[in-house]
């Protein structure tokens, strides 16, 4: 069975902290994605990766960076968390040709 | 051109009724159109998907209708049940390119018993 796991379900951080969100998939997928979900705005793509050490900016990359050192792990980094980054963060991996599998999400609150 | 527009934003349907959610797109290169279902506290999960070579796809009570010339597709939920209450997202992508899905903004469906 396909599995995408995210390191935390809930996270509370202070403004200015560096935040790491981890995502692991066990399906040997090459493409992985980070989205944020906000009410009324749907899912917006932050970054994606199509191979180890490869990354591409999505629609809203400002304030975020990513790391993919191993195929199964894709990390989202908030360099200096701000209150407007309070959101639900969803990781996904792609099963060719088109189906994306999502993790359960991390609800991040920045105070 | 990359947008997928989804309507309505919210929908209330009586048990046993038909729920209809509509989406429209602009990019004619899109060739994969999935619908995702999301329950509170969970990540979205693929519900049903269609490719432009067919005009309709049915899986149980869920049907996608696809109109290539109008660049529109819709989800129909027949005999809606309270367990169908969830948020539904339409999406589109260029499948062979392995690109990220472009999502609509979602529809919150509530089925009253």
* Chain B interface includes A74 (CB < 8 A): no
Q: Is the peptide bond before A104 cis (omega within 30 degrees of 0)?
A: no
Given pLDDT bands bounded at 50, 70 and 90, which one contains residue B100?
confident
Alpha helices in B9-98 (DSSP H): none
pLDDT of residue A62: 96
* Chain B interface includes A99 (CB < 8 A): yes
* Chain A interface includes B43 (CB < 8 A): yes
Nearest to A41 among B34, B44, B105 (CB): B105
pLDDT of residue B96: 72
pLDDT of residue A106: 97
Average model confidence (pLDDT) for chain B? 93
Nearest CA in chain B to A58: B100
Give exposure, A10-46, as e/b (b: 16+ Cβ within 10 Å). Answer: ebebeeeeebebbbbbeeebebbbbbbbeeeebbbbb
pLDDT of residue A97: 74
- Best A8, A100, A101 residue to mutate vs chain B (most B CBs within 10 Å): A100
Average confidence (pLDDT) over B25-29: 93
Contacts of A35 in chain B (CB under 8 A): 103
Average confidence (pLDDT) over B17-22: 98
Contact across the interface for A98 and B9, Cβ inside 8 Å: no
Nearest CA in chain B to A94: B98
Average confidence (pLDDT) over A89-96: 92
* DSSP helix/strand/coil, B97: helix
Average confidence (pLDDT) over A66-71: 96
Average confidence (pLDDT) over B18-47: 94
* Chain B interface includes A43 (CB < 8 A): yes
Average confidence (pLDDT) over B33-54: 93
- Cβ-Cβ contacts under 8 Å between A and B: the total is 56
**Residues in Cβ contact with B103 at an 8 Å cutoff, skipping those fewer than 6 apart:** A35, A42, A43, A44, B4, B36, B89, B90, B91
pLDDT of residue A95: 86
Average confidence (pLDDT) over A77-100: 93
* Chain B interface includes A2 (CB < 8 A): no
Minimum distance, in Å, between the CA of residue A66 and any CA atom of chain B: 16
Given pLDDT bands bounded at 50, 70 and 90, which one contains residue B61?
very high
pLDDT of residue A6: 96
Average confidence (pLDDT) over B92-111: 88
pLDDT of residue A80: 97
pLDDT in tens, A2-34: 789 999 999 999 999 999 999 999 999 999 999
- Best B42, B59, B98, B100 residue to mutate vs chain A (most A CBs within 10 Å): B100
Rounded Cα distance, B30 and B106, in Å: 19
pLDDT at residue B1 is higher than 70: no
């Amino acid at each position: 069975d396909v599995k995408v796991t995210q390191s935390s379900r809930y996270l509370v951080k202070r403004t200015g902290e560096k935040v790491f969100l981890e995502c692991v998939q066990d399906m040997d997928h090459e493409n992985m994605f980070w989205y944020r979900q906000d009410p009324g705005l749907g899912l917006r793509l932050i970054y994606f990766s199509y191979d180890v050490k490869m990354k591409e900016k999505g629609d809203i990359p400002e304030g975020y960076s990513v790391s993919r050192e191993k195929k199964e792990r894709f990390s989202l980094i908030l360099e200096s968390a701000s209150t407007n980054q309070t959101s639900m963060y969803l990781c996904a991996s792609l099963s060719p040709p088109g189906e994306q599998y999502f993790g359960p999400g991390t609800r991040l609150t920045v105070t | 051109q990359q947008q997928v527009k989804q309507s309505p934003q919210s929908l209330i349907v009586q048990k046993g009724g038909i729920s209809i959610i509509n989406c429209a797109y602009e990019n004619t290169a899109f060739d994969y159109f999935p619908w995702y279902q999301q329950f509170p506290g969970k990540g979205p999960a693929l519900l049903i998907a269609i490719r432009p070579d067919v005009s309709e796809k049915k899986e149980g009570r869920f049907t996608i209708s696809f109109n290539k010339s109008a660049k529109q597709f819709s989800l129909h939920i027949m005999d809606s049940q309270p367990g169908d209450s969830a948020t539904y997202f339409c999406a589109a992508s260029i499948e062979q390119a392995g690109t990220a899905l472009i999502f609509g903004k979602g529809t919150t469906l509530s089925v009253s018993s």
